[in-house]
Amino acid sequence: MKSQSDKATRFTAVPFTAMPFGLNLGIPNNEDTIQPIDWSTGASTAANALRVMRLTRPDRGNLIQAYLNLFMNVGSAITAKVAIGRFDTDGVTKVTPTQAEIDAGHKALTGTDTPFSSSGSNLFIDGLNLLSLIPKKGDTNYNEDGFVLIVQFSRNLTTSDFPTRFEVSCSMQMGLL
């Protein structure tokens, strides 16, 4: 005899990795990544210091955790500020933030004006909680498809600067029917 599971005992949260829009579609597109190299050609993209990336959110369910993990090999000294941005009214185009918006977002996430820094070799951001600034249902900047992550470096990225780990690790609340 087959037994039915009790909905009350099911797990109510599942892991979810927020993926860049371009990678999620299988398109070699650096617009939504931190990578300074075009993956399809191997050529440098001369990535600028401001990376404004569209990341996916779960199709069904609400984010209940979102942590940024970044381990990046860097060729020389660099600093980075992290913030959450917004989409334009079309829901697809990301809005380029002002310096004041980046500074305020970074301070809200980290509690300090001080950027993450490396004197060379490696830049490491481990488990920065982004959830407090990611728009939720009902917020004016909410987008059902994704959210915008901003990473502002102190200098342009070169081919010597590349991430070995870049992820936004999330948990989502499952909608039990």
Residue-range definition of the domain harbouring residue 94: 13-173
Q: pLDDT at position 25, please? A: 46
Q: pLDDT at position 97, please? A: 94
Q: pLDDT at position 121, please? A: 87
Report the amino acid identity of residue 172: M
**Does 160 fall in a domain?**
yes
Number of residues that make up the chain: 177
Beta bridge partners of 123: 72
**Does 119 fall in a domain?**
yes
Name the pTM for this structure.
0.82
Strand order in the sheet with 116-118: 50-56, 146-153, 78-84, 116-118
Q: pLDDT at position 3, please? A: 45
The stretches in the chain having pLDDT less than 70 are 1-12, 22-47, 175-177
**Does 159 fall in a domain?**
yes
Q: pLDDT at position 106, please? A: 97
**Does 2 fall in a domain?**
no
Domain count, the chain: 1
